[in-house]
Structure 1
Amino acid sequence: MGVVSQDAIKELEARMKEVEEPLKITFQNVHQGYLVETLMRFLKAREWNVNKAHRMLVDCLNWRVQNEIDNILAKPIVPTDLYRAVRDSQLIGVSGYSREGLPVFAIGVGLSTFDKASVHYYVQSHIQINEYRDRVILPSASKKYGRPITTCVKVLDMTGLKLSALNQIKLLTIISTIDDLNYPEKTNTYYIVNVPYIFSACWKVVKPLLQERTRKKVQVLQGCGRDELLKIMDYASLPHFCKREGSGSSRNSDNRNENCFSLDHPFHQELYNHIMQQSLTNEPDELIKQGSFHVDVPEPPADRTEIAKTIESEFNKFENGKRLSDSLNGLRINGA
């Protein structure tokens, strides 16, 4: 780390000591004792500009206080059937750890439908997973490996990606905006697997729009990515959709304990039990009520909006091309 970087960290740390008490309290939940690493994340997100990083961090803390994010792990999605429906349509889970101790998050991008609950439940669930990662999983991994572990790796499965994904762009933009502004630089590498043609076409035009540090994190792998992923993790930690070449992804698996998207997977069982226990500890005399936890969503930055519009445009081009191809095929068949 260069002298300039160290000076930036020291200056940002000095500024954070001056924030008001409510922000200091929530800041502890953000850094979990790894102050320098947290300051570095926000500085990286703002190209090491101290003023911009300070503004970003203070805005993040205000967002946490105003939306009671510190208490979100005590707000279960109930009944359990509703939460299972969220899990079945928002495909995300933890399959294991890399050899360096980073948790491996698996995300079923292509087959997530986000059609079993309101937007608020999906946003609530996403933030809960973020908070559980940052407050439980990463501190536990840091303790186990004897060094700060503050990031994860993500394996994105594109199996089943269709034009209907256009309906999800608004929700995905909301989620990615929350991550960009409040959980920056938490992902070490994005591995993209089971890539269909429609993704490849979009990637060509979206890639130049990404910031350089983001582009460097993205690796598009051949097939299910098994061979490449085995270089950084053991077979047992591979997401279920990477364990057999050509197997693709599925919402269901013969072994539900292996399907890291399923509510029956140990990760989701531990997460849900943690949230239920926290809710009883915080409000022992109150019945757990059904209802989503509403969170204010900040406006997406201009570059995020441009990326969403570009994806939508490419999907529409693909759809129009497909319609033309179908029409031509129909003419050939009828004229045969």
Structure 2
Amino acid sequence: MADESNPINEEDLKELKNRMNIIAQADPAQYHNDFSLRRYLKAFKTVDNAFQAILKTNKWRVEYGVADLENNKEIIEKYGDKARVLRHRDLIGRPIVYIPAKNHSSSDRNIDDLTKFIVYCLEDASKRCFEEVVDNLCIVFDLNNFTLSCMDYQVLKNLIWLLSRHYPERLGICLIINAPAFFSGCWAVIKGWLDDNTTSKVQFVNSEMDLCQYLIPDVLPTDM
């Protein structure tokens, strides 16, 4: 969904498209559509910065093997209870990534494999975007039955890095539901890693009635 408060300069978009078209002739895999280019321009501000960020993302995607992650059944099955991209969408059409934090243990995970699973989920959710309508995601952290043993700052750092560097402006809103009172201490740490734009997208939801402003509560899984 276009952010009318921060419109993209159409001349900048044209220049970025020209640069991308030149390298796409040599390597079609380098191509990004207009929606992607707009997201990079919004996130990185200038044509030069956006172009360099896209090249870094393209290089990372190849080296990380992003295209092959959907075939990595071992990781998908091993971490399948950590997150799920739902069939349903939020009220404005965003794909929903649901994360039941109670299923995570910071002492029982392989950080590299779990990060690959996170990328797999971000890829899956991004592919489900109806970009002409809305091109960003709704991430729901469900903190029901959350304990401090579930808190994993390194995993969150990895997620924040991925969203900022390789999935810029893909996060539309992050809902934190069922947060216990002690989570405020965790949030004070996490908030320090976020820029103002990202922080503004994080919403603490304290009741089912409030949740109904964003999505239909019945779409959230009860089997995880």
Do both proteins adopt the same fold according to a TM-score greater than 0.5, normalized to the shorter chain? yes
Report which stretch shifted further, 183-192 or 126-135.
Answer: 126-135
Q: CA deviation at 1:74?
A: 2.9
Q: Does 1:73 align with 2:58?
A: no
SS at match of 1:203: helix
Corresponding residue for 1:152? 137
Q: CA deviation at 1:6?
A: 1.7
Instruction: Provide the C-alpha distance between the structure 1 equivalents of 2:71 and 2:80, rounded to a whole number of angstroms.
Output: 18
Instruction: Provide the C-alpha distance between the structure 2 equivalents of 1:76 and 1:114, rounded to a whole number of angstroms.
Output: 22
Work out whether residues 91 and 111 of structure 1, in 8 Å CA contact, stay in contact via their aligned partners in 2.
no
Work out whether residues 98 and 232 of structure 1, in 8 Å CA contact, stay in contact via their aligned partners in 2.
yes
Corresponding residue for 1:96? 88
Corresponding residue for 1:211? 195
Alignment-mate amino acid for residue 176 of structure 1: I
Match of 1:185 among 169, 187, 196: 169
Following superposition of structure 1 onto structure 2, how do residues 258-273 of structure 1 map, counting pairs within 5 Å?
258-259=222-223, 261=224
Instruction: Provide the C-alpha distance between the structure 2 equivalents of 1:95 and 1:115, rounded to a whole number of angstroms.
Output: 30
Distance 1:172 1:231, change over 3 A: closer
Distance 1:190 1:163, change over 3 A: same
Instruction: Provide the C-alpha distance between the structure 1 equivalents of 2:106 and 2:189, rounded to a whole number of angstroms.
Output: 25
Q: Deviations over 1:143-175 (max 9, x none)?
A: xxxx34321211211234433345x32233234
Match of 1:42 among 2, 19, 40: 40
Work out whether residues 156 and 192 of structure 1, in 8 Å CA contact, stay in contact via their aligned partners in 2.
yes
Q: Does 1:226 align with 2:190?
A: no
Instruction: Provide the C-alpha distance between the structure 2 equivalents of 1:96 and 1:3, rounded to a whole number of angstroms.
Output: 29
Corresponding residue for 2:104? 112
Distance 1:109 1:227, change over 3 A: same
Bigger fraction of residues in helix: 1
The number of aligned residues is 220
Instruction: Provide the C-alpha distance between the structure 2 equivalents of 1:37 and 1:213, rounded to a whole number of angstroms.
Output: 19
Alignment-mate amino acid for residue 140 of structure 2: V
Structure 1 vs Structure 2 CA RMSD: 2.8
Corresponding residue for 1:14? 18
Work out whether residues 22 and 65 of structure 1, in 8 Å CA contact, stay in contact via their aligned partners in 2.
no
Distance 1:209 1:3, change over 3 A: closer
Task: Normalising by structure 2, report the TM-score.
Answer: 0.82
Alignment-mate amino acid for residue 158 of structure 2: I
Q: CA deviation at 1:92?
A: 3.7
Instruction: Provide the C-alpha distance between the structure 2 equivalents of 1:209 and 1:131, rounded to a whole number of angstroms.
Output: 23
Distance 1:170 1:228, change over 3 A: same
Work out whether residues 138 and 174 of structure 2, in 8 Å CA contact, stay in contact via their aligned partners in 1.
yes
Distance 1:115 1:26, change over 3 A: farther
Alignment-mate amino acid for residue 227 of structure 1: M
Work out whether residues 26 and 64 of structure 1, in 8 Å CA contact, stay in contact via their aligned partners in 2.
no
Distance 1:235 1:3, change over 3 A: closer
Segments of structure 2 that go 5 or more residues without pairing to the other structure are none
Alignment-mate amino acid for residue 70 of structure 1: A
Instruction: Provide the C-alpha distance between the structure 2 equivalents of 1:217 and 1:91, rounded to a whole number of angstroms.
Output: 20
SS at match of 2:169: coil
Task: Normalising by structure 1, report the TM-score.
Answer: 0.57
Alignment-mate amino acid for residue 5 of structure 1: N
Work out whether residues 84 and 98 of structure 2, in 8 Å CA contact, stay in contact via their aligned partners in 1.
yes
Work out whether residues 95 and 106 of structure 1, in 8 Å CA contact, stay in contact via their aligned partners in 2.
no
Instruction: Provide the C-alpha distance between the structure 1 equivalents of 2:149 and 2:90, rounded to a whole number of angstroms.
Output: 33
Percentage identity across aligned positions?
20
Segments of structure 1 that go 5 or more residues without pairing to the other structure are 241-257, 262-336
Higher Rg? 1
Work out whether residues 97 and 125 of structure 2, in 8 Å CA contact, stay in contact via their aligned partners in 1.
no
